[in-house]
Amino acid sequence: MVTFVDPTQTRRKRDPGRCFRKAGFRAVGSTKGGLVALQMLPEEMPEPCAPLPVHDPAQPLLPGLEVVA
């Protein structure tokens, strides 16, 4: 999986695409236009997990929290 990050469109910090890097992507280069190329190889991807259950709108998202309309 590959993604590209435009460092000019992110807040100034030490490494553009930090959230991707924390998720396991690694920098593999840059484009002619200056985008940072980040990649995660298939063998580096986490195992899939079951999806979350569908939310029932009749039930509150946060039990004990009353919603005032």
Look at residue 12 and tell me if it is in a domain: yes
Look at residue 24 and tell me if it is in a domain: yes
Report how far residue 19's alpha carbon sits from residue 36's, in angstroms, rounded to the nearest whole number: 13
| Contact call for residues 9 and 35 (beta carbons, < 8 A) | no
How much is the pTM? 0.66
pLDDT band at 65, cuts 50/70/90? low
Look at residue 8 and tell me if it is in a domain: yes
Look at residue 66 and tell me if it is in a domain: no
Q: What domain count does the chain have?
A: 1
pLDDT band at 67, cuts 50/70/90? low
Read off the pLDDT of residues 16-52 as tens digits, 9 standing for 90 and up. 888 899 999 999 999 999 999 999 999 999 888 888 7
Q: Which domain holds residue 25?
A: 2-44
